[in-house]
Chain A
Amino acid sequence: MMARAARTAILATIGTLIAAWVLFPILLISLAAFSSRAQLYSWPRAIVPTPPTLDTILFFLRAQGVWQSTLNSLIVALFTIVLAVAIGAPAGYALSRFRFPGREGFRLGILATKMFPATVLAIPLAVAYIRWGLYDNLLGVAIVHTALALPFAIVITTSVFVGVPMELEEAAMTLGCTRLQAFLRVALPIALPGLAAAAIFTFVLSWNEVFAAAILTLHNRTLPALLINAVAFAGAPLDYRFAGGFFMIVPALIIIFIIRRYLMTLWGVTIR
C-alpha cells in the first residue's frame, strides 16, 4: 500500500527530526564541557574537541563556592523531599480515602497553588525570613521548595493511594491490625514505588529551582543560585558557564532516566 508506506515514512522522518532536535543541544553542551578553554575561545572552531579534556569541568568544580553550593543543593533537595513527603503523603492519603466537607475546596486550592510559582512567593518570604532569622538558611530555601513541590506531591500521593484499594486495608483490619498497622504493613509497601517516584520528582524540582534560591541566599547558595549570579553579575567565562550547564543537567538526566516509567504514570500517561 503506497499511501501507507509513504505515511509511515513521513511520520518516521518527523519523529527522527524531533528526537534529534531534543538530543542535539544536550550533545553540544556535553562537547562544550569537555572542550578546553582555549578551544572554546578559538576561531575557527572544531565542533568535537580534540583532544577532549577534563580541564574545563575540573576548573568549574574547583572554582570558588561550586563544590559547596552543590552540597547545598543536595541538602536542600533532601530537606525538601522529607518535608514534601511527610506533609503531602498524609494529605494525599486523606484525599484518596475519606469524604469530608471541604474536600473539593481543598482540591481546588491545591490546583490554584500550582499557578503561583516562585516569583510571587520568594520576595515577600525573603523579607519575612530576615525577620525570622531564616534568611540565607538552607532550611529556609527548602521550605520554599516544599511549598512549590507540595501541590505536586499531594496530587501524586493522592493518585498513588487511590491505586491502593481501601479493601486491602480493611482486610488487614479484620485480620487483627489497627488502622495504623494496616497502613504500614499493607498500604505503604504497595504505594512505595509511587511515593519514591514522587520523591525523585521533588528532587529534580528542587535541584533545578533558580529564582527563590537566588533571592533567599547570600552566602549559602545553591548551585543554580550561584550560577545565575555568576552569569548575571560576575561575568563568568565561557568555560565556566558551559561546565556549569553540563554539571547541572547530568544528575537530573540520570535520575529521570532511571524513573522514566514512573514519571509517565505520574503525569497520567499510560505506558503501553
Chain B
Amino acid sequence: MATVHLDRVTKRFGRVTAVDGVTLEVRDGEFMVLLGPSGCGKTTALRCIAGLERMDGGRIVIGGEDVTDRPPGRRGIAMVFQSYAVFPHMTVRDNITFGLRIRKTPASETQRRTQQAAELLQIGELLDRYPAQLSGGQRQRVAVARAIVMQPQVLLMDEPLSNLDALLRLQMRAELKRLHRETGATTVYVTHDQVEALSLGDRIAVMRNGVIVQRDTPSVIYNRPASTFVGGFIGSPPMNFLRGTVEEGGRSVRVAGAALGLEERWAGAEGITAGGEVVVGVRPEAFEVMAEPCPGALPAVVVVVEPLGGTTLLTVNVGGETAKVSVAPDTDHDSGQRVWLRPLPDRMRLMEPVSGRAVIPTEEGASR
C-alpha cells in the first residue's frame, strides 16, 4: 500500500485540455474519489495514474517513486475498468490468475491469493466458468478479484458500478466499502454519481473542466461546498441558490423581500460588503417550514408537492426564484399554499454572485 501523488499532471487531446495541471495527494490506505460530470477529466486523470495515457506535463509518484516513465505493468497499480474488461476467452480462474502468471508468481502463492480473493468477493463457485456465462454483477466481481490478487500499491477503479442496475449498484457499493475496510488498499475511484462518492470516499476531489475545484471529506463537501457548482452537483436534490443583497452593517441579507439574519462569522468575511450582491445557498432539508409569517423567514408559495415515501419534496416559488424544500412525509401541504421558510443559520452558505465561489466565514480559514 502506498501514497499517490499527482504533480501538475496535464493531458491534452488535440486542442482540448482534459486534465489541466492537476495536483493531488492520496494518503496511504485512503479511498479517494474523483467526482465530476462527464468530460471533466476524471477518467483521463485516472488513466494517467495508470499509465494508459501519455501525459503532456507533470509527474506521477507512487509510493515515493516517480513512475511517470514506466509502463502500466510496472507501476504497482491494478485497475478495474468500467466495462470490466474480463477476458472472454479465459475462465474466471484464468482471468484472476492472469497477472500473477505474467509475473511468474509461484503456483502455491497464486493458489492462495486466488482463494482469498474468491472468498472476499464470493465468487468461489464461479471459478471454472466462462465470462459469457456470468451476469454483469458477477463479471464485475471477477474484475475486482483480478485486481486485488495483484496486491497492488494502488487500486484504480473507473466507474465500476455504472453498468449495473440500481439495486445491484446499492449492494455492490456496500460490498466495495466492506472490501476497502478489510484490505485497507489505497484506492482511487472515479464516478459521476455523487451518492457513490459521498458513501464510499474518505475524501472526494470534485473535478470540473480538467481542474479540481474542491478536495475534502464528504461531509465538508456536502455542508461547505466551495462553489455554486459543487453545491449544485452534490446532493439530490441539489442545493438551492437564492439571490440576495447584504444589508447595512452586514448583519442581515435581504432575500425575496425578507431579511435573513447573518451570523457573527460572516461579518468580516471577504466578499461581504454592505449593499453588495450575494448568493445564499441552502440545502432543501435545511429549512424550517412555517405556516405563519415570522421574522427571518422567506415568504414562498408551494407549486408542486411530490410525496417520495421517506420525505416529501416541495417545489416552491420564492420571490420569483424556484427552490426545493424537503419536509417530513406526514406533513400536509397543497399546491398554492403559502409558507414561510426559515433557513437554519448554521447550514447557510454564502457565495459570490459572479464567480460562484464560496465566501469563507472568518472562523474557517483555508482548508485545501
- A and B in direct contact, judged by CB atoms within 8 A: yes
Binding site for B on A (CB under 8 A): 165, 167-168, 170-178, 181, 186, 189-190
Are A189 and B89 touching (Cβ within 8 A)? yes
CB closest chain-B residue, reference A192: B89
Query: Which of A168, A175, A190 sits near B73, CB closer than 8 Å?
Result: A175
Q: Interface majority SS on A: helix, strand, loop or mixed?
A: helix
By size class, the interface of chain B is 20 to 34
Query: Which of A165, A174, A177 sits near B50, CB closer than 8 Å?
Result: A174
Determine how close the nearest CB of chain A comes to the CB of B148; give it in whole angstroms.
12
A167-B85 contact in complex given A173-B52, A174-B79, C-beta closer than 8 Å: yes
Query: Which of B50, B73, B81 sits near A176, CB closer than 8 Å?
Result: B73
Are B150 and A175 touching (Cβ within 8 A)? yes
Query: Which of B72, B74, B85 sits near A168, CB closer than 8 Å?
Result: B85
B229 within 8 A of A: no
CB closest chain-A residue, reference B82: A167
Query: Which of B52, B74, B83, B102 sits near A165, CB closer than 8 Å?
Result: B83
CB closest chain-A residue, reference B81: A167
Are A174 and B73 touching (Cβ within 8 A)? yes
Report Cα–Cα, A171/B78, bound state, in Å.
9
Are B103 and A165 touching (Cβ within 8 A)? no
Determine how close the nearest CB of chain A comes to the CB of B311; give it in whole angstroms.
40
Chain A residues, CB < 8 A from B99: 175-176
B98 within 8 A of A: yes
Report Cα–Cα, A173/B156, bound state, in Å.
14
Binding site for A on B (CB under 8 A): 50-52, 71-74, 77-79, 81, 83, 85, 87-89, 98-99, 102-103, 146, 150, 156
Report Cα–Cα, A165/B131, bound state, in Å.
15
A186-B87 contact in complex given A174-B77, A177-B102, C-beta closer than 8 Å: yes
A190-B102 contact in complex given A170-B72, A174-B52, A175-B146, C-beta closer than 8 Å: no
Given A173-B52, A174-B72, 9 more A-B residue pairs with CB atoms under 8 Å apart are: A174-B73, A175-B78, A175-B146, A175-B150, A177-B73, A186-B89, A189-B89, A190-B88, A190-B89
Are A165 and B85 touching (Cβ within 8 A)? yes
Query: Which of A168, A176, A178, A181 sits near B87, CB closer than 8 Å?
Result: A168
A176-B85 contact in complex given A170-B52, A170-B72, C-beta closer than 8 Å: no
4 interchain residue pairs of minimum CB distance: A175-B99, A171-B85, A176-B73, A176-B102
Report Cα–Cα, A254/B83, bound state, in Å.
39
Determine how close the nearest CB of chain A comes to the CB of B108; give it in whole angstroms.
19
Chain B residues, CB < 8 A from A177: 73, 102
Report Cα–Cα, A170/B43, bound state, in Å.
14
Are B83 and A167 touching (Cβ within 8 A)? yes
Chain A residues, CB < 8 A from B50: 174
